[in-house]
């Protein structure tokens, strides 16, 4: 395993990520840390996030707007997300049945080394209430 030093910047990124309720962009994460008087650089945030994603501590996905979104990963192994499209609240879900369906579908069409993306977007209870 590659070396991974323990700098206060990485701590802050890790903390900010853990404190976020849902997926956050590198940009907004940097903006938030900026506002906390930390002189942290944008590049550092990107590098820290890439490191966290590589080591499995964070999850990443592409937003429809073209940004990369990150979130602290609590569940070990493979899992999926239920995401509120309004407030960003994210719930990690297991999908054993879907896993199997994906494997079978890939196999039926002769595909190998199949990976899959399964995410559900919706309005969480509180956001749905607000919008009523």
- The binding site for DNA (CB under 7 A) comprises 3-10, 25-27, 38-44, 46-48, 50-51, 66-68
Least separation, in Å, of the C-beta of 42 and a copy of itself?
A: 16
Could you tell me the sign of the dihedral formed by the alpha carbons of 92, 96, 98, 99, in that order?
positive
Q: Write each residue from 61 to 100 as x if it is in contact with a copy of itself (CB under 8 A), else as -, in one continuous string.
A: -xxx-x-x-------------x-x------x-x-x-xx--
5 versus 108: smaller Cβ distance to a copy of itself: 108
Give the helix/strand (H/E) hosting 58. strand 58-62
Could you tell me the sign of the dihedral formed by the alpha carbons of 22, 23, 29, 32, in that order?
negative
């Amino acid at each position: 395993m590659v070396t991974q030093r323990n700098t206060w910047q990485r701590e802050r990124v890790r903390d900010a990520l853990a404190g976020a309720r849902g997926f956050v962009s590198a940009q907004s994460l940097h903006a938030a840390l900026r506002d906390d008087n930390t002189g942290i650089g944008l590049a550092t945030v990107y590098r820290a996030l890439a490191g966290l994603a590589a080591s499995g501590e964070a999850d990443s996905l592409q937003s429809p707007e073209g940004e990369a979104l990150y979130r602290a990963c609590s569940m070990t192994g493979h899992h999926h997300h239920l995401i509120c499209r309004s407030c960003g609240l994210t719930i990690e879900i297991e999908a054993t049945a879907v896993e199997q369906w994906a494997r079978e579908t890939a196999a039926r069409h002769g595909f190998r080394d199949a990976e899959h993306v399964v995410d559900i977007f919706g309005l969480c209870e509180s956001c749905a209430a607000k919008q009523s």
